[in-house]
Chains A and B, each alone.
Chain A
Amino acid sequence: MSSEIRFTDFKSDKQPTWCPGCGDFGTMNGMMKALAETGNDPDNTFVVAGIGCSGKIGTYMHSYALHGVHGRALPVGTGVKIARPDIEVMVAGGDGDGYSIGAGHFVHAVRRNVDMTYVVMDNRIYGLTKGQASPTSREDFETATTPEGPKQPPVNPHALALASGATFIAQSFSSDALRHQEIVQEAVEHDGFGFVNVYSPCVTFNDVDTYDYFRDSLVDLKEEDHDPTDREAAKDVILDQNKEYQGVVYKDEDSVPYHEQHGVDEDMSIIPDGAPEGATDLVREFY
C-alpha cells in the first residue's frame, strides 16, 4: 500500500489561510513527505495539533486528527499512541503552545519517550494573537506587550529536552525543504520521542528572525563533523548561545520507547462485548 501513497494524499481539501510566505507551508510539506516516505497513509496516521497559526496544520492535513486545547497537544498524542501502538502519531504546534502554556507537558513527554514525533513550528513569536513575545523571542525583541523586549533570556528547548532525558533532538529550517524533510523523517523513524524544533518564520510579525537571518546564520551539523550519538558533543552544541544550527544534534541509539518499557502493545480499541474473561476473579479478590 505504501508505494501508492503520495505526500499529497495527506493534504486536506481546505486551502491554508496562512499569510503568503509563512514558514508553516514548508514545515507542513516536509512533514507530509516524511510521513509518506516512511510508509504511512492518512488512515493510519493521527496528527495532534496545538493552538496557534501553527495549530491550523491539523485542518490543512488529511489524516485522523485532533485540534485541541492550547498547550495540551502532547498529552493527547501520548494517549492516542498508548491506546493505538499501531497508529503513527505526529504532534505539531507552535513555540508558545509547546514551550509556554505547554512547557510542563513538554518535559514529561520527553521523559516518557513515547514513540511519536513532535514538531514545533518555532517562529519566535505568537502569530495567531498578532505578534506578542513568545518563550523563544529574543531578550530585546520589541512587541506591543513587551515594548522594551521581554528582558529575559529565551527558553532553550534543546537544552530542556536534553536535561529531561530526550532520546532524539533535532532542528530544521522550513525553507531548506530537503533537509527539513530528511530530519523530520529521521524523527519519525526514531524508536521513541522524536523531537524537531523547526525554524518556521513568521513573515508578518517577526522582522528579526527572518528567512535571511536563518539562511545566513544556520550551520548544518551534518556538514560539521558532529556525532549525534555523543551526548557531551550534543551538550556543547546545544549550550552554545552563538550558534544557530540544523540537523540531528542528539540521538540515543539504545532508546527504549514507552510501550516497550511498560509492555503495552495491544490495540485498545478492540474489546469483548461483555465483561472480559476472568473478570469474576476481581470479585473473588474481595472475599
Chain B
Amino acid sequence: MAADFNWAIGGEAGDGIDSTGKIFAQALSRAGRHVFTSKDFASRIRGGYTAYKVRTSVDKVQSVVDRLDVLIALTPRTIEENLDELHDGSVIIYDGERTTMQDVEIPGEMVGLDVPLKRLAEEAGGAIMRNVVALGAACEVTNFPIENLDSALEKRFKDKGQQLVDNNMEAARAGQSYVEEEYDHAFDYDLDTTDEDYVLLNGDQAIGMGAIAAGCRFYAGYPITPATDVMTYLKGRIEQFGGHVIQAEDELSAINMALGAARGGARSMTATSGPGIDLMTETFGLIATSETPLVICNVMRSGPSTGMPTKQEQGDLNHMLYGGHGEIPRFVLAPTTIAECFWKTVEAFNLAEKYQIPVYLTADLSMAVTEQTFTPDTFDMDEVEIDRGFVVDEADIDGHLSESGGFQPHEITEDGISPRAFPGTSGGAHMSTGLEHDEQGRRTEDTDMRVEQVDKRNRKVETAKEREDWSPREFGDPEADNLVITWGSNEGALAEALEFLDDEGIDLRVLSVPYIFPRPDLSDAVEAAENVVVVECNETGQFADIVEHDVLERVDRVNKYTGVRFNADELAAEIEATLAEGAEA
C-alpha cells in the first residue's frame, strides 16, 4: 500500500471546521486520491472543540489511524488535543497573529508554520476566508497541485457567484506563496495525483441515494443526530422522482405516517436513532403483524437515553432483534461499508416487500458521518433490481378471495407469503390490524387460526432463509486458525488491521456480517478455527452473544464503548493481545 497521509483542521464550533475539511477532502478526491474522513473522535477536554480529519492515499483507505501529519490549528487546544497523534516532522499551521495563538509553543521536533491567515484573507477579500488561506498553505507543504483545490472551491461556492470563487482561489494562493516565500524548508510530504475519478459521500447519503434508487417515494422522519442527514439528503431530491419527505411531530407519528404510506402501496421509509427507535417500537408490532413492508433505518449512536449523541456505538442490536412486546419476526440488516449502505438499502426495500415484513436497516454514527471515496460505478444504477413481491391486481384477485368473496391479505400459504392488494384495486378491500386476525384480516381469537397465523408469519422467515443469500463478507486467509467476526462499520478498520497483523506474522480469517437476522450459519467457520474473536462497538458483546448462542461455543471478544470507533492500528493491537491471552489460557 502506498503511504497514507493524515491531515486535520481543528478549532471551535463556529470556526467553519466542517466545511473547510470537506473542501480539502473534495480537492483530494478530485485529484484522484482516495479519502476517508472522520469527525467523531475523543476529546480530552470538555465541549467546544471540533475537528475534521482526512486520511488519504492513492490506494483505498477505509479507516482512521492514530497519526497526524499536517494539522491546521485554529486554537491552542487543537494542538493539545492531538498531541498523541502528532509526531516528529508533523507540520502545524497556525496564525501567530491571532491573540489566542500568540504564545503557542510547537512541541519537540514538529514544524510550526506561522501564517497570518486572517491578514492574508482580508487582503484577498475577507477574513472569513482564513481557513482557505490555510488550505493553500497545506497545498504548499504537501506539494499538492493547487488547481485541485480550485476545483473544490468552485464546487462549493459557484452558486454564490464567480467573484466569491475567485476570491477564495486568491486566498488559497496567498497561503501557498506565503509558505513558499517565508519557509525555506523541505517538507516530507508529496500528495501525488492520479487520473482516477472518485465520488465522495457518507453513509447517510448512501442510504438516501439507495432509497431513491429503490423506488422509495415516502419518507417521514423527526430530526435526530446522526440520522438527520438521511432526511436532509432526500429533501429536495426525492421530489424529482415523484416522492415526498415529511417532518413529523415526533417519531410516534413518523413511523405511523410511513406505515400509512406503505399500506397505500408506496415504498416507504423512516430513519432515526436510539431515542426515536424507542418511540417507534410502539408501532413495530403492528407493522409486523399487519404484514406491512417498511424500512426502518436506525443510525445508532451512543446510549442509553440521550447518552453521547454525537458518539459511536453499536448498542441497539438486541433492541432491534427483540424490541416490542409479544413475538414477531423482523429482518435486521447492517451494512458494513458506506458503499454497502447504498446496496443494503436497495435490498432492504426488496426484502420488505417480498416478505411483507418490517426491515431494520442499521448503520452507526461513524459510518453515517464519515465520507469515503468510491469509483462512480460502485453505485451503478443499472444494477439496481426491484422486486415488489406478491402483488395482485384486479385481473388476478379472484384467485385470492375467501368463499364469501373477501380478499385474503393473510392467506395461509405454503411459503407463508400472502397476496397484497393496493388500495384502489377492485375487490381487494380489506382490513389490516394489530389484532390477531383471520386470512381476511378480521379480528379472531380462534385458537386454530391464531396458531396458523403465527406459524405463517414465521414461515416467511424460513422461506427467506432458503431463497435469499445471507452470506457474510470474507477477507484475509480462509485457512487461518484465527477467526475474527464483526458486524456493521468495523469492517474497514478490520480490513486494515489485517495488514498490520500480517506484518507481525499473524494470519486472520475475517467474516464481516451484514445480516443480523436472518443471519449466516457461522458454525463451520467457528469450528474450523482455533481462536475466535468477535469485534464490536458495545460493552456487552451483543453479537458475540448471538454467535455463542448459534454455535454453542465460547468466543473471545474485543469491545469498545468509549464513544469512538476502532482505529485500524489500535484494533490490530487489541486483536493481537486477545489472541495472545487465548493462547496462554
Using CB atoms and an 8 Å cutoff, list the residues of chain A in contact with chain B: 12-14, 42-46, 48, 58-59, 62-69, 71-72, 74-84, 86-87, 104-105, 107-108, 262-264, 266-269, 271-276, 278-280, 282-284, 286-287
Contacts and interface: CB of A to CB of B under 8 A. Distances in A.
B434 A269 contact: no
Given A79-B220, A263-B239, A286-B205, A44 B424 contact: yes
Nearest to B376: A283
Interface stretch (B379-387, B456-464, B481-489, B496-504): B379-387
A287 B256 CA distance: 36
Contacts of B432: 65-67
A262 B244 contact: yes
B241 A278 contact: yes
Interface of B: 29-30, 155, 197-201, 205, 209, 212-215, 217-218, 220, 237, 239-244, 246, 248-250, 252-254, 256-268, 282-283, 286, 290, 376, 379, 381-382, 384-386, 388, 404, 406, 422-435, 442-443
Contacts of A108: 248-249, 253
A77 B260 CA distance: 6
Contact of B384 (A63, A87, A275, A278): A275
A230 B424 CA distance: 37
B384 A46 contact: no
A283 B379 contact: yes
A6 to B, nearest CB: 15
B249 to A, nearest CB: 4
Given A46-B263, A83-B218, A284-B376, A276 B426 contact: no
A86 B431 CA distance: 19
Given A75-B256, A80-B260, A264 B244 contact: yes
Q: Which 9 A-B pairs have the closest CB atoms?
A: A79-B260, A269-B265, A271-B215, A75-B256, A286-B199, A83-B264, A268-B266, A83-B261, A268-B217
Given A59-B443, A66-B433, A78-B257, A272 B386 contact: yes
Given A267-B424, A268-B244, A272-B215, 9 more contacts: A12-B442, A45-B429, A46-B423, A66-B431, A75-B220, A82-B244, A87-B264, A287-B199, A287-B200
A72 B215 contact: no
Contacts, number: 218
B337 to A, nearest CB: 15
B406 A276 contact: no
B431 A58 contact: yes
A269 to B, nearest CB: 3
A173 to B, nearest CB: 28
Contacts of B286: 68-69
7 contacts: A13-B404, A14-B442, A58-B431, A79-B218, A83-B264, A268-B243, A283-B381
A129 B286 CA distance: 20
Contacts of A271: 215, 217, 267, 386, 388
Given A79-B261, A83-B268, A69 B282 contact: yes
A276 B241 contact: yes
A69 to B, nearest CB: 5
Nearest to A70: B282
A269 B391 CA distance: 11
B290 A66 contact: yes
B265 A83 contact: yes
Contact of B283 (A68, A77, A82): A68
Contact of A82 (B261, B282, B376): B261
A82 B246 contact: yes
Query: B interface, by DSSP: helix, strand, loop or mixed?
Result: mixed
B256 A62 contact: no
Nearest to A86: B424
Contacts of B423: 43-46, 64, 80, 84, 87
A123 B29 CA distance: 65
A76 B246 CA distance: 13
Contacts of B29: 287
Contacts of A267: 424
Contacts of B253: 72, 74-75, 78, 104-105, 108
Contacts of A44: 423-424
B382 A275 contact: yes
B283 A13 contact: no
A276 B263 contact: no
A225 B376 CA distance: 68
Contacts of A86: 424
A263 to B, nearest CB: 7
Contacts of A79: 218, 220, 256-264, 268
Contacts of B209: 279, 282-283
Nearest to B30: A287
B434 to A, nearest CB: 6
* Among B263, B290, B406: residue with most chain A CB under 10 A: B263
B424 A268 contact: no
A263 B426 CA distance: 27
* Among B29, B283, B424: residue with most chain A CB under 10 A: B424
B247 to A, nearest CB: 10
B386 A80 contact: no
* Among B29, B155, B264: residue with most chain A CB under 10 A: B264
B35 to A, nearest CB: 12
Contacts of B428: 43, 64
Nearest to A286: B199
Contacts of A87: 264, 423-424
B33 to A, nearest CB: 14
Contact of B429 (A42, A105, A107, A266): A42
A80 B263 CA distance: 7
B386 A274 contact: yes
A74 B260 CA distance: 9
Contacts of B240: 278
Nearest to A91: B260
B452 to A, nearest CB: 19
A64 B199 contact: no
Nearest to B239: A263
Given A43-B425, A68-B286, A274-B386, A104 B268 contact: no
A277 to B, nearest CB: 9
A278 B213 CA distance: 10
Contacts of B243: 268
Given A13-B406, A68-B286, A83-B264, A104 B250 contact: yes
A105 B244 contact: no
Given A83-B217, A268-B264, A75 B431 contact: no
* Among A83, A269, A284: residue with most chain B CB under 10 A: A83
A200 B433 CA distance: 24
A58 B432 CA distance: 9
A65 B437 CA distance: 13
A52 to B, nearest CB: 13
